[in-house]
Amino acid sequence: KGEYYSDIKQIVGSTYSSGNMEVSRPCGYNGPYDHRIFSDEIAGYFSKLVNSSGSTISLGGVNNVRMMNNTFVMPYHFQFEAEGPAASW
């Protein structure tokens, strides 16, 4: 339990609704966790916010949108099992 954040980056050429993005390790957290489960949750949340009918940014009916250096600060809480060895980095 804690207050952590992650940096996310959509992979170039992918659609906003695909959930195909790079998700960083939770900043400040060095304990065990399953990165696949964590990144799937974060990518799913982001794609609900930014897509053709997004609650934050709606991109319906447009092509070739490029957004750079945007910061979205939106609290989102979820729980998952953290198992395995702690990170050494």
What span, in angstroms and rounded, lies between the C-alpha atoms of 50 and 60? 10
Selected residue with higher pLDDT from 56 and 71: 71
Residue listed under structure tokens 């998700």 = 23
Find the DSSP H helices in the chain: 35-49
CA neighbor of 49 nearest in space, from 73, 23, 77, 25: 73
Rounded percentage of the chain residues whose pLDDT exceeds 70: 62
Mean pLDDT of 42-50: 79
Residue 24 has pLDDT above 90, yes or no: yes
Q: Where are the domains of the chain?
A: 1-89
Across the chain, which distance is largest between two alpha carbons, in Å? 46
Q: What is the pTM of this model?
A: 0.64
Residue 17: alpha-carbon gap to chain centroid: 12
The pLDDT confidence band at residue 23, using thresholds 50, 70 and 90, is very high
